[in-house]
C-alpha cells in the first residue's frame, strides 16, 4: 500500500528538482517581456527605483506631440536596465474613429525588419549551417550582380549593403508589382558602383536574398523559420511577416500619408514581398521584447556570438550623419553591421535602425552595455516622432535635455527630416540614404 505513495512522492520530488533547476538557470522564463502585474504598474508613468528616465516628462512630451495635425497613432516602449519600464499607446488606429492605440495594436516595422534577417542568418552561421564569408551565390540562387560579382560578394556583404550596386536598386520596379526574384536576377544588368565589399549603398530587393538564404539552409519558408527560431521562443505573439498578419489583427493601425483630416491609404503589398527587407508587423510590446533580446537577455535564442556578429561595425556610413544633421550635437560616427546601424552617441556606442513604408514608420535604438533603449511605431508620414529616441537616450546618459521632438519653439519643424526607409524612389515618403 506504500508503493503508490512512494511513487507519487518521487514524481513530486522530480518535478520540484526540474522546476527549481529551470528557475535557477541563466535565462529564467521572466527574463523577457512584461507580466500582467507589471503592466498595471507601468500603465501610469511614474518614477521607478533606480531609474534615470523621467517617464512623466516623456509621457507629457508625447501627449503634446500627438496634438499635431500629422499625428494619428503612436506606440512607444522603453527598456531600462534590461526591464520594460514604459509601454503606452497614443492617438487612434483610424483618425476620428475613437478606437484607441494600445500596446496590443499592430503596426508595420518596415526596415527595422532588416535586423531580424541579420539575426536569423547570423544564428544559422553560428550553428555551422553556413558561413558569413562564403559567396552569396552559394545560397541565393536568384541574385545576380554586375560582372558576376555574386560569386565574389559574401553573405556578410549582402547583409551590410556592400554589393557594389546603386542605392535602392530596382525598388521602383518592386513597387510597380514586379516579382522580387526576377528583379534580383536583373540586378546583374546594372553598372557596378564598386567591387563588392568596398562601398556602401542601401538595398531592399537585393537585401531580401537573405530570405532565400534562410529558406535554402532551413528548408522552410522564411516566415516560418523566423517564427520557429526567433519570434516563438521570444514570446512575440503578435508578430507576423505578411499583409494578412496586419489586417486581420484585432487592433491594427491604418496607414496615413496625410493628417488627421485625411483618409487612410491602402496597405502597400510591395515590401511584404521582400520580407527580410521590410515585412515584419507587431505590437509595441513585441518590439520591446525584440529590443530586450538584442541586449543579450535571451541567450538561448540569440547567443552572444550572434549579437556580436550583427552588431559589429562592417562599414562606415558617413552619409548617415548628413541625414541626422539636426542631431549632430549627439551623433558623431555612423557605421553599419548586419542589418543594424551603429553610432557614437556623445561618446557612447549605440545600436539601432529606423524604418518607413507608405503610411508607417518605426525606430529602435539602444545601448547594449546599459541594456537600455527605446522603440516606437506610428501610422503616418511625419518624421517628428523620431526625435523621441534622442530625448530618451539623453535621459539615459544624464545629458542636458534638448528639444529633439521640436515641440517647444517650432512645432512640426522635424517633419521633413528623412527617416530610414524601406520604400524606394517611387514612394510618397522620403528615401533613406
Note down pLDDT in tens along the chain; length 433 residues.
444 555 555 544 444 433 333 223 333 334 788 777 777 667 677 767 789 999 999 999 999 999 999 999 999 999 999 999 999 999 999 999 999 999 999 999 999 999 999 999 999 999 999 999 999 999 999 999 999 999 999 999 999 999 999 999 999 999 999 999 999 999 999 999 999 999 999 999 999 999 999 999 999 999 999 999 999 999 999 999 999 999 999 999 999 999 999 999 999 999 999 999 999 999 999 999 999 999 999 999 999 999 999 999 999 999 999 999 999 999 999 999 999 999 999 999 999 999 999 999 999 999 999 999 999 999 999 999 999 999 999 999 999 999 999 998 643 333 334 444 444 433 333 233 3
Q: At what angle do helices 209-218 and 114-126 cross, to 10 degrees?
A: 30
Long-range Cβ contact pairs of 389-395 (< 8 A, separation 24 or more): 389/352, 389/363, 389/365, 390/327, 390/330, 391/58, 391/61, 392/53, 392/58, 392/78, 392/365, 393/330, 393/345, 393/348, 393/350, 393/365, 393/367, 394/330, 395/52, 395/53, 395/54, 395/58
Provide the Cα torsion 321, 324, 328, 332; round to 10°. -40
| 31-112+221-229+236-396 fold | Beta-lactamase (3.40.710)
Q: What is the pLDDT of residue 43?
A: 62
Look up cell 520557429; give the residue.
Answer: 228
Where are the strands (E) in 260-330, listed by range?
281-282, 315-316
DSSP string, 328-386: TTTEEEEEE-SS-EEEEETTEEEEEEEEEETTEEEEEEEETTTTEEEEEEESSS--GGG
Q: What is the pLDDT of residue 48?
A: 72
Look up cell 516566415; give the residue.
Answer: 223
Q: What is the pLDDT of residue 59?
A: 96
Burial (0-12, 13-18, 19+ Cβ within 10 Å), 116: buried
Domains of the chain by residue range: 31-112+221-229+236-396, 121-214
Q: What are phi and psi of 133, to 5 degrees?
A: -115, 10
Run of H or E including 59: helix 55-66
In angstroms, the Cα distances linking 200 to 23, 137, 145, 307, 429 are 45, 19, 15, 21, 22
Beta bridge partners of 90: 74
Q: What is the pLDDT of residue 28?
A: 36
Rg, Å, the chain Cα set:
22
Q: What is the pLDDT of residue 111?
A: 98
Q: What is the pLDDT of residue 45?
A: 72
In angstroms, the Cα distances linking 318 to 212, 323, 354 are 30, 9, 16
Q: What is the pLDDT of residue 176?
A: 96
Dist. CA 426–CA 306, nearest whole Å: 35
Largest distance between two CA atoms of the chain: 85
Run of H or E including 396: helix 388-396
In angstroms, the Cα distances linking 252 to 34, 74, 92, 243 are 21, 11, 10, 11
Q: How many residues does the chain have?
A: 433
Q: At what angle do helices 284-294 and 114-126 cross, to 10 degrees?
A: 40
Q: pTM of the prediction?
A: 0.89
Where are the strands (E) in 92-244, listed by range?
107-108
Amino acid at each position: 500500500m506504500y508503493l503508490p505513495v512512494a511513487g507519487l512522492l518521487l514524481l513530486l520530488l522530480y518535478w520540484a528538482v526540474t522546476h527549481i533547476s529551470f528557475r535557477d538557470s541563466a535565462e529564467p522564463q521572466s527574463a523577457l517581456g512584461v507580466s500582467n502585474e507589471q503592466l498595471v504598474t507601468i500603465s501610469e508613468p511614474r518614477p521607478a527605483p533606480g531609474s534615470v528616465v523621467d517617464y512623466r516628462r516623456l509621457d507629457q512630451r508625447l501627449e503634446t506631440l500627438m496634438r499635431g495635425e500629422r499625428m494619428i497613432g503612436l506606440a512607444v516602449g522603453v527598456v531600462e536596465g534590461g526591464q520594460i519600464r514604459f509601454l503606452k499607446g497614443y492617438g487612434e488606429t483610424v483618425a476620428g474613429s475613437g478606437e484607441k492605440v494600445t500596446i496590443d495594436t499592430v503596426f508595420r516595422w518596415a526596415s527595422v525588419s532588416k535586423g531580424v534577417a541579420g539575426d536569423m542568418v547570423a544564428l544559422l552561421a553560428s550553428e555551422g549551417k553556413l558561413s558569413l564569408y562564403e559567396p552569396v551565390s552559394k545560397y541565393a540562387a536568384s541574385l545576380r550582380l554586375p560582372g558576376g560579382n555574386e560569386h565574389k560578394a559574401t553573405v556578410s556583404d549582402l547583409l551590410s549593403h556592400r554589393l557594389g550596386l546603386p542605392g535602392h536598386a530596382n525598388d521602383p520596379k518592386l513597387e510597380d508589382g514586379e516579382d522580387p526574384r526576377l528583379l534580383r536576377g536583373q540586378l546583374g544588368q546594372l553598372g557596378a558602383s564598386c567591387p563588392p565589399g568596398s562601398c556602401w549603398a542601401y538595398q531592399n530587393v537585393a537585401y531580401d536574398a537573405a530570405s532565400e538564404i534562410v529558406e535554402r539552409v532551413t528548408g522552410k519558408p522564411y516566415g516560418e523559420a523566423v517564427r520557429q527560431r526567433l519570434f516563438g521562443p521570444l514570446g512575440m505573439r503578435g508578430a507576423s511577416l505578411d499583409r494578412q498578419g496586419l489586417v486581420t489583427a484585432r487592433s491594427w493601425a491604418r496607414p496615413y500619408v496625410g493628417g488627421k483630416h485625411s483618409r487612410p491609404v491602402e496597405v502597400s503589398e510591395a515590401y511584404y514581398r521582400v520580407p527580410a527587407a521590410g515585412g515584419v508587423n507587431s505590437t509595441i510590446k513585441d518590439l520591446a521584447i525584440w529590443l530586450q533580446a538584442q541586449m543579450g537577455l535571451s541567450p538561448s535564442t540569440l547567443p552572444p556570438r550572434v549579437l556580436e556578429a550583427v552588431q559589429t561595425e562592417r562599414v562606415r556610413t558617413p552619409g548617415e550623419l548628413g541625414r541626422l544633421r539636426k542631431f549632430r550635437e549627439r551623433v558623431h560616427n555612423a557605421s553599419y553591421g548586419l542589418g543594424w546601424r551603429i553610432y557614437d552617441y556623445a561618446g557612447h556606442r549605440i545600436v539601432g535602425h529606423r524604418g518607413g513604408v507608405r503610411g508607417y514608420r518605426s525606430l529602435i535604438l539602444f545601448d547594449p552595455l546599459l541594456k537600455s533603449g527605446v522603440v516606437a511605431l506610428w501610422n503616418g508620414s511625419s518624421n517628428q516622432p523620431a526625435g523621441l529616441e534622442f530625448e530618451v537616450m539623453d535621459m539615459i546618459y544624464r545629458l542636458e535635455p534638448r528639444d529633439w521632438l521640436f515641440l517647444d519653439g517650432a512645432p512640426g519643424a522635424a517633419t521633413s527630416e528623412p527617416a530610414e526607409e524601406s520604400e524606394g524612389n517611387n514612394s510618397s515618403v522620403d528615401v533613406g540614404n
